[in-house]
């Protein structure tokens, strides 16, 4: 609950910045998760530079949405050898002139210390594919009964180009999966879907949605990372994201910040010693 409340504050900040538009808030919030921790701020900046209503005007074409996102991100300023980025560049230049768009400085994007499947170029292509799907608006999210639908939309297939590229003009030695894996789509549900349902439920005092946000975490498997591995080593059984999120919060917000004296677990350990 503490973790959900903390993340809700970030969501409500975006909500106020978007003139209290929940669809726009969801668009920016889920984009942050596509960037994971290292590029989350850059993804939010990207989506703030190009409104959702403009993306939705072109949502019947993944190619055009890619052109808008890659162009705004500053990735189409180079001279390319490949045909595909050259076509994106041409399309973006036309759309940028039409809508008076101002591209971002590409220095905001981080590639170092990032695995190639998480390169911002790869993740932008996946975000574009998601935004072209039917499940990509907040209003649709609120009426979904089955979260397998949004899970599938989060794994939407981008352009074929990304099956053998992580970056423009740099083909991969092996065939890639263009779409996100199951673990990454689970991650997006944990960090975006459940949190925005919780924030919205609290804001409008719809406690059925608050309960539903927690049920989402109970229905998703636990993350696999070093923090969870270490909890398991000392005997914790962690099957759902509800428990893994709680333990990640405990480690990062209490243990790492040495808040033992204000932590029930820390006090018990001190007493037992």
Reported as a single tens digit per residue, the pLDDT across 74-106 is 999 999 999 999 999 999 999 999 999 999 999
Instruction: Output the average pLDDT for the chain.
Output: 91
What percentage of the chain reaches a pLDDT higher than 70? 96
Rounded CA-CA distance 179/229 in Å is: 26
Residue-level pLDDT at 157: 80
The per-residue pLDDT for range 171-192, each reduced to its tens digit, is 887 766 655 667 788 888 999 9
Phi, psi (deg, nearest 5) at residue 171: -65, 145
CA dist list (Å): 210 to 4, 141, 151? 10, 14, 20
Residue-level pLDDT at 100: 97
Rounded CA-CA distance 111/126 in Å is: 17
- What's the N-to-C CA distance of the chain in angstroms? 29
Sign of CA dihedral 218, 202, 147, 178: negative
Whether the pLDDT of residue 153 is over 80: the answer is no
Residue-level pLDDT at 272: 87
Residue 175 tokens, joined: 């065939």
Phi, psi (deg, nearest 5) at residue 194: -65, -40
DSSP for residue 178: -
What integer is the mean pLDDT of 39-44?
96
The Cβ of residue 46 has, within 10 Å, a number of other Cβ atoms equal to 28
49 band by pLDDT with thresholds 50, 70 and 90 = very high
Contacts of residue 171, Cβ cutoff 8 Å, sequence gap at least 6: 164, 165
What integer is the mean pLDDT of 16-40?
95
Q: Which sequence spans correspond to the domains of the chain? A: 2-218, 226-272
DSSP for residue 136: -
210 band by pLDDT with thresholds 50, 70 and 90 = very high
Instruction: Name 125's bridge partners.
Output: none
């Amino acid at each position: 609950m503490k973790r959900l409340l903390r993340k809700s504050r970030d969501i409500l900040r975006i909500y106020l910045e978007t003139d209290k538009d929940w669809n726009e808030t969801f668009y920016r919030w889920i984009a942050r998760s596509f960037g994971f921790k290292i590029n989350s701020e850059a993804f939010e900046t990207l989506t703030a530079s190009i409104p959702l209503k403009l993306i939705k005007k072109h949502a019947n074409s993944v190619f055009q949405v890619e052109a808008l996102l890659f162009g705004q991100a500053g990735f189409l300023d180079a001279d390319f050898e490949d045909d595909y980025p050259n076509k994106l560049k041409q399309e973006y230049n036309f759309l940028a002139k039409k809508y008076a768009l101002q591209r971002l400085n590409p220095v905001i994007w981080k590639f170092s210390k990032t695995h190639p499947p998480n390169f911002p170029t790869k993740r932008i292509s996946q975000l574009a594919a998601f935004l072209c799907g039917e499940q990509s608006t907040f209003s649709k999210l609120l009426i979904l009964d089955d979260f397998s639908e949004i899970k599938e939309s989060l794994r939407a297939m981008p352009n074929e180009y990304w099956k053998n590229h992580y970056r423009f003009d740099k083909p991969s030695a092996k065939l890639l999966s263009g779409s996100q894996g199951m673990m990454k789509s689970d991650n997006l549900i944990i960090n975006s879907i459940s949190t925005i349902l919780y924030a919205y439920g609290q804001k409008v005092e719809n406690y059925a949605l608050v309960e539903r946000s927690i049920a989402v975490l109970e229905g998703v498997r636990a993350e696999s990372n070093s923090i969870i591995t270490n909890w398991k080593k000392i005997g914790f059984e962690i099957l759902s994201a509800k428990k893994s999120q709680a333990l990640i919060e405990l480690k990062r917000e209490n243990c790492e910040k040495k808040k033992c004296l204000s932590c029930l677990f820390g006090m018990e350990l001190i007493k037992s010693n």
